[in-house]
Amino acid sequence: MDKSYGRGQILKVDLTTGTVSREPIPAGLARKHLGGEGINSRLLWEHFLKVDRRTDPTSPDNVIIAGVGALGATGYGAGTKMKWTFKSPRTGMFGDSSSGGTFGANLRWAGYDHLVVTGRADHPVYIWIHDDAVEVRDARHLWGMDVEPADHAIKQELGHADIETAIIGRAGENMVTYASLQVSCHRGAGRTGAGCVFGSKNLKAIAARGTKGIHIHDPNRFLEAIETFTTAVNKPQRVRDAWKNVGTLGVFGYYNRSGLSPFRNNQYSTVPQDKVDKLTSRWYTDNLALRRLSCSPGCVTGCAGMYKIKGHESPAAPKYAGETGYRMELAAQIGWGSMCDIPDMPALAHLWKMTCAYGVDVIEFSLSCSFLMELWERGIIDQRDTGEWMGEPITLEWGNYEAVLAVLESIALQKNALGQIFKDGIYKAAQRIEDLKGVPILPYVIYGKGGLPFITEPRSNPSWGVAIAVASRGADHLKGAVATLERFNRPDLSTHHYGRPEAAQFATPTLKGMDCARAENRCAVINSLGLCSFPIALDTVLYPEELFAEALTASTGVPMTGQEFRLAGERTVNLEKAFNARLGLRREDDRLCERWLDEPQVDGPGKGARAKDFLEPAKDEYYEAHGWDRKTSLQTRKKLEQLDMSDVAQVLTRENALIP
Amino acid sequence: MYSNRHLRREALSTTRLLKADAEFCDGCRMCEIVCSLRKAGMVNPYLARLRVARSEEGIPRPTICRHCKVAKCQLACPEPGAFYEHQGTGALVIDESKCTRCLKCVEACPFAAMWVGPGGEVLKCDLCDGDPVCVKHCPYTPENSLPHLPYPRQSCLKYVVRRA
């Protein structure tokens, strides 16, 4: 009985046959991979040993795995972040996406830490998890609904107000490859196309209500661990002043001062001051903020919120007067506000609301818009093209938020030719437009690994540059970049880890690859525990692994050490790397777009910087820090054996993807 | 509007022992979780002695026992002495040994601040012997103040000692 303390089961649902099964988490697996992202990645790895690894991600053979880490939903102070893991239909490689929301907590309270969905239903269905009762129900009446109405309909149908859902919008139904999965309606698992996998499985939603709770081995010791941790979370001034008020919106001003806010499709790196003033978190709290909220249970930071548009705040506001909704994140502020040059927060708030309703990844979608706008500025596309593609001659000038809405509808609802051009992501869209136009336009696309776009300025920020080039799920910040020391200037932590402060020095290449490798291991630990990276991933001194180990020991009764946690994080990074290596990804796939590589930054403190100057040496350093091969980027047998992953090494050897 | 309501609330709060201010509630549910940890030894909001529900618009609505001076639950109880005032804290608590689980008190509570556990037991706040664990863990406190928002010095869950 002791084994089940602090842990749930793995729930498996096969949509083809409609069968449901449960199995306990093997103790060895929990120790080696902790939970959350770690166990998810392991389950994905095992699934793709049974089915062909080259299988089409939209086929029934793909799998989508939900997982909440062992400290998620326990009130441990850093919320409940869950992971959705699958083979990505967007990039064709390892795919995962995290989300907040109360759904993950209900999954755990119902007794399941992981949910594995395979197969494909022959008509739209949804999964209803009510403690021990799990059923696959008809969702034909929900198909075609936006996220919020579908959520409402499910709650009414099942008769509980406290049901939480993970739902796809119409973009997911139409299998747009970067469709998001909307968890508890407003927390999107956006990146790499979880919504598309749902759509391909004819799965509209998963609804959960958990009343069984989580057994804790030593409640008093666990309460003490919570108190220690929450005190630490509330300690930094930056948490109290910025995170608690405005969450991710708060870093925009800092980014802009540091020349890290890409402007007009990243042709520039700082936003003109008059526009900055209308995009800051201060403008938001003064004009739109209604109240703050926690996105998920057990978060003492509470960086989410609600807004209300009164109608006189900005030129766009009268149109949306009276609208309330959940607050946008930094992705909207940079993605539309500065990349598309829309310095109008009410418009951004409305765009955010609509992308949540249709279920689209905001990052990829907003960069698709800024890309189109740059093509418009350069005269490569004009009204004839938009007329042909969208049915009406829409102008795509900078700042035209109505055009952005039109593009959103084209893509999410797959209404017209433009929607089809952008269905498979920005990189393929650029190739398609290039074929249509016969002029080179790939230099204007912003992307990193996997052709996945990302909203940042990595040229003068080498640690983010290398992180975006190597991240296992394609260009992204949550796999490592957020825990690197350079961007938030932490020489103290650099000295702590490396004995010298250079890893935190801005715009220099020293130690950046090594720091990225360390940060990846760190982020894997946080994501495996079901906690939120934002307030805690960076500061390894204030929130050391030992702190989490103590809490997990108290809750599960299985003694664990901080060192074991660090190893578990490294194992997860290696497993994701191995998954990609099996698919044939090598060093040359760890790349950045031409704009970042070759074009020097034109303004800001990092003026003149370009990624070409640091990327290759930083990658060398990164592979070496992970103990991987420099030339091919492949893992070595020695490293995998050190991590007790000989079985993975065996598979890789068979497929010629390991350095002996 | 804001200030009047708050003045009224402040005046009322001095006659009560524990109150939750929905205006400032984040909906983080820390209170529910730590309450269930303390009272039931596990994480399960459905065993907590207070609840945070959400309105249809998504606004958190905390519900907590007010330890009323004239308590409808106590009046509804047919068992003499099943409800009594705790000597140290003045909290209105249930004597488990005398409770017959008729649930009349739960029906009578005008604030719907009493619940029924899976075994039919009544879940009611008892102020944790004067050190309410929910108040301790409520993140919305003046120490973690919010300079940008109205009423930065307010907190959500408050433990107010009854006037002598």
What ipTM was estimated for this complex? 0.91
Q: Are residues A525 and A487 in the same domain?
A: yes
Whole-number pLDDT of residue A640: 96
* Distance of alpha carbon B82 from alpha carbon B90, whole angstroms: 15
Query: What integer best gives the mean pLDDT of chain A?
Result: 94
DSSP 8-state class, residue A338: I
Residue B161: band (very low, low, confident or very high) from pLDDT cuts 50, 70, 90:
low
Among A149, A178, A209, identify where a domain stops. Answer: A209
Residue A550 lies in a domain: no
The CA angle A211-A23-A154, to the nearest 5 degrees, is 40
Q: Are residues A489 and A523 in the same domain?
A: yes
Whole-number pLDDT of residue B54: 87
Residue B142: band (very low, low, confident or very high) from pLDDT cuts 50, 70, 90:
low
Whole-number pLDDT of residue B145: 47
The domain that holds A146 is classified in CATH as 3.60.9.10
Residue A638 lies in a domain: yes
Q: Are residues A327 and A440 in the same domain?
A: yes
Among A173, A191, A209, identify where a domain stops. Answer: A209
Residue A231 lies in a domain: no
Rounded mean pLDDT of B61-83?
89
* Distance of alpha carbon A444 from alpha carbon A598, whole angstroms: 12
Window 13-52 of B: residues touching A by CB (8 A cutoff) are 26-30, 32-34, 36-38, 40-47
CB contact under 8 A, B30 and A161: no
Q: Using a CB-CB distance cutoff of 8 angstroms, which residues of chain B are in contact with residue A293? A: 26-27, 58, 60
- From the list B41, B118, B137, the residue facing A226 with the nearest CB is B137
Whether pLDDT at B9 is above 70: no
Q: Using a CB-CB distance cutoff of 8 angstroms, which residues of chain A are in contact with residue B38? A: 219, 223
Chain segment A594-646, per-residue pLDDT in tens: 999 999 999 988 899 999 999 999 999 999 999 999 999 999 999 999 999 99
Residue of B148, B149, B154 best to disrupt the A interface, most CBs of A under 10 A: B148
Q: Are residues A428 and A469 in the same domain?
A: no
Whether pLDDT at A406 is above 80: yes
Chain segment B19-33, per-residue pLDDT in tens: 777 777 889 999 999
CB contact under 8 A, B42 and A213: yes
Q: Are residues A305 and A329 in the same domain?
A: yes
Q: Using a CB-CB distance cutoff of 8 angstroms, which residues of chain B are in contact with residue A162? A: 53-54
Whole-number pLDDT of residue B10: 44
How many structural domains comprise chain A?
3
Chain segment B76-125, per-residue pLDDT in tens: 999 999 999 887 777 889 999 999 999 999 999 999 999 999 889 999 99
A381/B163: higher pLDDT: A381
Q: Are residues A152 and A103 in the same domain?
A: yes
Residue A233 lies in a domain: no
Given CB atoms, is B60 within the 8 Å cutoff of chain A? yes
CA distance B27 to chain A (A): 6
The domain that holds A436 is classified in CATH as 1.10.569.10
Residue A395: band (very low, low, confident or very high) from pLDDT cuts 50, 70, 90:
very high
Whether pLDDT at A285 is above 50: yes
Chain B residue nearest residue A215, CA to CA:
B42
Residue A395 lies in a domain: yes
Whole-number pLDDT of residue B155: 66
Q: Are residues A309 and A351 in the same domain?
A: yes
Whole-number pLDDT of residue B2: 39
Rounded mean pLDDT of A299-315?
91
Whether pLDDT at B148 is above 80: no
Q: Are residues A467 and A442 in the same domain?
A: no
Whole-number pLDDT of residue A302: 87
Q: What is the 3-state secondary structure (H, E, C) of chain B?
A: CHHHHHHHHHHHHCCCCEEECHHHCCCCCHHHHHHHHHHHCEECHHHCCEEEEECCCCCEEEEECCCCCCCHHHHHCCCCCCEEECCCCCCEEECCCCCCCCCHHHHHCCCCCCEECCCCCEECCCHHHHCCHHHHHCCCCHHHCCCCCCCCCCCCEEECCCCC
The domain that holds A500 is classified in CATH as 1.10.599.10
Whether pLDDT at B8 is above 50: no
Residue A29 lies in a domain: yes
Given CB atoms, is A219 within the 8 Å cutoff of chain B? yes
Chain segment A116-134, per-residue pLDDT in tens: 999 999 999 999 999 999 9
Q: What distance lies between CA A21 and its chain's CA centroid?
A: 29
Whole-number pLDDT of residue B162: 52
Whether pLDDT at A466 is above 90: yes
Whether pLDDT at B128 is above 90: no
Q: Are residues A354 and A432 in the same domain?
A: yes
Residue of B2, B25, B26 best to disrupt the A interface, most CBs of A under 10 A: B26
CA distance B26 to chain A (A): 4
Range of the domain at A66: 3-209
Whether pLDDT at B12 is above 50: no
Given CB atoms, is B153 within the 8 Å cutoff of chain A? no
Q: Are residues A12 and A161 in the same domain?
A: yes
Given CB atoms, is B119 within the 8 Å cutoff of chain A? no
CB contact under 8 A, A293 and B27: yes
CB contact under 8 A, B58 and A326: yes
Q: Using a CB-CB distance cutoff of 8 angstroms, which residues of chain B are in contact with residue A223? A: 34, 37-38, 133
Whether pLDDT at B3 is above 60: no
Q: Using a CB-CB distance cutoff of 8 angstroms, which residues of chain A are in contact with residue B136? A: 227
Residue A248 lies in a domain: no
Among A209, A227, A244, identify where a domain stops. Answer: A209
CA distance B79 to chain A (A): 30
CB contact under 8 A, B137 and A326: no
Residue A287 lies in a domain: yes
CA distance B43 to chain A (A): 5
Q: Are residues A277 and A383 in the same domain?
A: yes
Rounded mean pLDDT of B43-51?
93
Q: Are residues A285 and A405 in the same domain?
A: yes
